[in-house]
Structure 1
Amino acid sequence: MAEQYWLGGFFIDLSRNQITHNNETLTLPPKVLAVLTYLAEHQGKVVSQDDLLDNIWKDTVVSPNTLQRCIAQLRKALGDDSRQQHIIKTHAKKRLQPGMQR
């Protein structure tokens, strides 16, 4: 993806680690913006926690809590929260029930 792109009304500038919306600019850590970029590249698809961990933190062991903190920072920057999920939506894990086939 380009170093700069639009996501809805948000201007994302990866070279400066910034998100700008309504003339307000926030600087975010590079990994947080890497998560946003990965999600933007896979818009409309459900991305698993494992996919994000494997692609953003290649060859590095981190806890799922690290990813959860990144998502929380993104939601705050984008005006989302865990209850009002407009931009980043969390999907519950689907588990097979006994008797169901894959």
Structure 2
Amino acid sequence: MAEEKKVLIVDDEPDILDLLKYNLEKEGYLVQTALDGIKGVEIAKQFIPDLILLDIMMPKQDGVETCRQLRDLSELSHTFIIFLTARVEEYSEVAAFETGADDYIAKPIKPRALMSRINALFRRKNSKQSENEKIEVGDLVIDRESYVVYQSGNELNLPKKEFELLYFLAQHSGKVFSREDLLHNIWGTDVYVLARTVDVHVRKVREKIGEGYISTIKGVGYKLEIN
């Protein structure tokens, strides 16, 4: 049974909202719903959910743009986002993870399978709570508690998965990790993510902190070091 975890479902299909709300509440979650992305962002600011289930194809504002706006909110830095979509094209999946999604699940939704994925996300979160909350590397201070990176005293706000990638590499400074290692440690074994997603996230982190930290080891993977 979940311990008062809060879930926001954003989908333009009332039948899906009702189905997911019923199953989540049966598991003990507190649930709110929205029929479009604009309303979803409004509710999220007040509700501060632990998890958002987000459809991609919606009127007024699609799920990808909604996810971008949600990831810009510092109060939602710890919130998981799972995309629910009927689209199966690779570019849709890549776009979802580029904007900070934690998982991507194709419709039709199977409630039991979805609950399993949700529980896996929360288990992973709980297992990380015992880790050191703050790491200093060069002029970077990476603060897990606030999900904020400080560089020479200036605050940098990285989307959730970019932050977790940087934090993980900083924990193991100097060690090389393959794309598969990073997928396993950042996204977990319960989520299917394309290897190129790692490359995209590394590129975006470099754009924010500069080129002198994450090195590419050709044919192997990535490592964090101070050049």
TM-score (structure 2 length as normaliser): 0.37
Partner residue of 2:169 out of 39, 42, 57: 39
Whichever residue aligns with residue 160 of structure 2, its letter is P
> 5+ residue gaps in structure 2?
1-130, 221-227
CA contact (8 A) 2:133 2:143 kept: yes
2:193 is matched with which residue: 45, 56, 62?
62
Larger relative strand fraction? 2
SS at match of 1:11: strand
Instruction: Work out whether 1:10 is the aligned partner of 2:136.
Output: no
Shift of residue 29, structure 1, vs aligned partner? 1.5
Paired position in structure 1 for 2:217: 91
Tell me the number of residue pairs that the alignment of Structure 1 and Structure 2 aligns: 89
The percentage of aligned residue pairs carrying the same residue is 33
Please give the alpha-carbon distance, in whole angstroms, between the structure 2 residues aligned to 1:76 and 1:16: 21
Q: Larger C-alpha radius of gyration, 1 or 2?
A: 2
Match of residue 24 from structure 1: 154
Q: Give the number of the structure with larger relative contact order, counting CA–CA contacts within 8 Å between residues 6 or more apart.
A: 1
How far the C-alpha of 1:76 sits from its partner, in A, is: 1.5
- Cα distance in structure 2, aligned partners of 1:17 and 1:65: 24
Query: Where is the helix percentage greater, Structure 1 or Structure 2?
Result: 2
TM-score w.r.t. length of structure 1: 0.77
Q: Which residue of 1 aligns with 2:178?
A: 48
